[in-house]
């Protein structure tokens, strides 16, 4: 049995998103929308660098984040390109971080745990998928997700998120976003192999002096048991809008039920005690 409860007949599949080679083209966002018939989210100019998607949600299953940072000029690679303006002005350079975010397909998935109808389920690939014909739009999965991924679609009423292209991977195809990614920033494959590849890539970057390179979500001992979609980041997770130490909320559920049970017994005892001597 795998940690998520599936029998080991089919290896766990996932994404490794190497943000160090992301060029911010958003081909992943477009390919996802096209393949999965995800509705437009409306035009919205957010004024956040090149990011006008904002966050993951019912109508955005991939989201490319753009982060502009001031760094010492020595940190900026000289590509030999002609420059404009006054390069010597303050000696500072700009570093541009880009990262394509997606549902993490957690080993211990809060959305799946709290879904009261069974609409959310775990597939044979160890991914987490919503069945739209079962979802009744109760919305419980929305605040349960520690990453803020899943969301109710306003005009539809049901919850939607990335399926890791369940309909493609069953036929041996890679998910639409990975297929469209021109730099292989998004890599799809067996999770065990992706984890090894990511570790090698991180080591490579460290050897090249990019010591801030770190993996996010690859550790099976983290608060969600590791994620099926994990990342190589070049700064702290919260800079990309990711929680630094996510925990599946249901980890604390047995304790919560115990406390609620004790409180209920307290109510029962208080009611009974309030009738002492009240009999007519």
Partner 1 sequence: MSRAQGSRREQAMVAPAEFRSYYGRPIVKEPAWEQPDVPLYLFLGGTAGASASLAAMARVSGLPRLARAGTLVAAGGSLASVAALIHDLGRPERFLYMLRVFKPTSPLSVGSWILAPFSGLATASAGSVLTGRLRSIGTLAGSAAGLLGPAMCTYTAVLLADTATPAWHEGRRELPVLFAGSAASSGAGAALLLVPTSEAAPARRLGLAGAAAELAAEHRLEHDLGVVSETYREGRAGTLLKAGKALTAVGAGLSLLGKRSRLASAAAGAAYLAAGACTRFGVYAAGVASSRDPKYTVVPQRERMAGR
- Cβ closer to partner 1: 206 or 258? 258
Q: Which helix (H) or strand (E) holds 269?
A: helix 253-274
* CA dist., res. 186 & res. 113, Å (int): 27
Spell out the residues 6+ positions from residue 189 whose beta carbon is closer than 8 angstroms to its own: 13, 14, 16
Among 152, 179, 197, 214, binds partner 1 (CB under 8 A): 152
Among 104, 159, 178, 197, binds partner 1 (CB under 8 A): 159
**What residues pair up with 93 in beta bridges, in sequence order?**
71
The smaller minimum CB distance to partner 1, of residues 68 and 196, is found at 68
Which residue in the set 2, 55, 59, 173 belongs to the binding site for partner 1 (CB under 8 A)?
55
Min CB(44)–partner 1 separation in Å: 13
Tokens of 266: 């307290």
State the Cα–Cα distance between residues 133 and 211, nearest whole angstrom: 47
- In the region spanning residues 65 to 124, those forming contacts with partner 1, defined by CB under 8 A, are 65, 67, 110, 113-119
Distance CA 75, CA 277 (A): 80
- Does residue 176 contact residue 100 with C-beta atoms inside 8 Å? no
Residue 38 makes contact with partner 1 by CB under 8 A: no
Q: CA-to-CA distance for 207 and 188, rounded, in angstroms? A: 25
Query: Of 145 and 232, which CB lies nearer to partner 1 in the complex structure?
Result: 145
What's the CA gap between 201 and 213, in Å, rounded? 9
Residue 45 interacting with partner 1 (CB under 8 A): no
The answer to whether residue 240 forms part of the interface with partner 1 (CB under 8 A) is yes
Cα–Cα distance for residue pair 278/89, rounded to 1 Å:
85
Residue carrying structure tokens 């520690």? 146
Q: Is residue 257 involved in binding partner 1 (CB under 8 A)? A: yes
Q: Using the rule CB under 8 A, which residue among 151, 162, 205, 233 binds partner 1?
A: 151
Contact stretch for partner 1 (CB under 8 A) within 9-17, 18-26, 28-36, 130-138: 130-138
Contacting partner 1 within 164-223 (CB under 8 A): none
- Cβ-based nearer residue to partner 1, 148 or 189: 148
Q: Which of 143, 170, 182, 220 binds partner 1 (CB under 8 A)?
A: 143
Interface residue with partner 1, options 92, 94, 210, 263 (CB under 8 A):
263
- DSSP string across 56-80: -BTTBSEEEEEEEEEEEGGGS----
Q: Confirm or reject binding of residue 265 to partner 1 (CB under 8 A).
A: yes
């Amino acid at each position: 049995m795998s940690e998520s409860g599936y029998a080991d007949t089919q290896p766990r599949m996932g994404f490794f998103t190497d943000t160090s080679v992301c060029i911010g083209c958003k081909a992943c966002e477009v390919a996802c929308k096209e393949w999965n018939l995800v509705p437009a989210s409306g035009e919205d100019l957010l004024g956040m660098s090149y990011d006008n998607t904002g966050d993951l949600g019912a109508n955005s299953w991939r989201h490319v984040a753009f982060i502009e940072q001031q760094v010492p000029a020595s940190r900026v690679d000289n590509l030999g390109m002609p420059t404009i303006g006054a390069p010597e002005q303050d000696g500072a350079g700009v570093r541009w971080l880009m990262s394509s975010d997606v549902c993490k397909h957690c080993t211990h998935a809060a959305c799946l745990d709290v879904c009261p109808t069974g609409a959310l389920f775990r597939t044979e690939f160890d991914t987490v998928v919503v069945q739209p014909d079962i979802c009744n739009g109760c919305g419980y999965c929305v605040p349960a997700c520690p990453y803020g991924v899943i969301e109710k679609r306003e005009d539809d009423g049901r919850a939607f998120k990335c399926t890791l292209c369940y309909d493609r991977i069953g036929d041996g195809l890679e998910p639409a976003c990975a297929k469209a990614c021109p730099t292989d920033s998004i890599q799809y494959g067996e999770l065990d192999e992706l984890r090894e590849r990511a570790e090698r890539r991180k080591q490579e970057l460290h050897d090249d002096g990019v010591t801030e390179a770190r993996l996010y979500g690859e550790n099976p001992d983290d608060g969600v048991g590791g994620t099926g979609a994990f990342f190589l980041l070049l700064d702290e997770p919260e800079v990309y809008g990711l929680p630094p130490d996510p925990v599946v909320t249901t980890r604390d559920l047995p304790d919560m039920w115990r406390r609620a049970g004790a409180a209920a017994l307290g109510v029962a005892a208080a009611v009974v005690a309030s009738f002492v001597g009240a009999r007519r």
